[in-house]
Amino acid sequence: MEAPEAFQRSNQTSSEEEAGSSLFHRVLEQRLLRNPDEEMKFLLQRLVVIAHLPHCPADRRAVGVYYEKLNQTLQRSYPGENITGLLLLYPTCGLHVLECSSEVLTAVLQDLSKMEAAPQSGLLERPRVLLVTHDAASRLFQHWGWRELDLPVTAAATLGEDQAPEPTEALVSQVLTQLLRLGNHLLTATKVHTSKASPEGVMEELPEKLLVPQNVLSQLLQRTELLTPQQYLQAYHTPLHLLIDSGHVFGSHQPTTV
């Protein structure tokens, strides 16, 4: 999914980098033009992923502890590249927002692919990529944290025979809007609290009205157009080849065939 506008740091670049012709270097050049005094070590990536959780509620804490350890391992592997975000564990599904470097993002997606291939791991099941934002302008979260949410399971909007399901784009937009509001709330709450207040303390006070409804996540997890982590990695690393007259990509014989 393409990031909405609201969701949009390198040491001094060498002469070779300044002369680079890749998309990375062009984006870096534009950022340096906009913010010449800013030091950018890496382009900030944002990942939003959703997944089913095992049926046993006690397993939710294992998910939070797992990602705490994984983030610590990745921080040691990529020192100086902060990982921020939020992991929300609902009774039946999880929502994870991660802000990091491209290397960390790839490592997390690869780890999710392993989970998908081994559902018996008992952690996340059938994960789906909701959003990947490359070169995000700023962080939405100042820390990384997780929380178990013991919210009542609100019934999904019951669809009658004359009601059509909400488009995937509308559901994704709803999730991202709520995440933006939640991020702004956490930033404000952190500033208002005394210096003795820990990020964990702020996390314990998340207003329910700012949380993405569980039924929205459940609906999205049923949408086949959302890519699995493995599918996303394959698409991201596969070169794009267009055969204009092949009849498969807007060819002259079948102009509407993809």
H helix count then E strand count, the chain = 8, 5
Tracing tokens 């099941």 back to the chain, one arrives at: 125
Query: Which has more pLDDT, 79 or 109?
Result: 109
**246 burial level (CB within 10 Å; 0-12, 13-18, 19+):** middle
Note whether residue 73 is domain-resident. Answer: yes
Kindly state the percentage of the chain with pLDDT values over 70: 63
Is the pTM higher than 0.75? The answer reads: no
> SS3 for 185?
helix
Question: What average pLDDT does the segment 71-87 reach?
Answer: 91
pLDDT of residue 99: 96
Note whether residue 248 is domain-resident. Answer: no
Note whether residue 222 is domain-resident. Answer: yes
CATH number at residue 78: 3.30.70.100
Note whether residue 95 is domain-resident. Answer: yes
Note whether residue 167 is domain-resident. Answer: yes
- pLDDT tops 50 at residue 112: yes
Amino acid letter, residue 26: R
97 bridge partner residues: 48, 86
Q: Which domain holds residue 154?
A: 5-237
Note whether residue 168 is domain-resident. Answer: yes
Which among 86, 58, 68, 97 has a CA at the least distance from the CA of 206?
86
Note whether residue 123 is domain-resident. Answer: yes
Which among 210, 192, 63, 50 has a CA at the least distance from the CA of 130?
50
CA 114 – CA 121 distance, rounded (Å): 9
CA 94 – CA 236 distance, rounded (Å): 24
Note whether residue 34 is domain-resident. Answer: yes
Into how many domains does the chain fold? Answer: 1
pLDDT 10s digits, 23-78: 656 666 776 676 655 545 568 999 999 999 977 666 788 999 999 999 999 999 98
> SS3 for 50?
strand
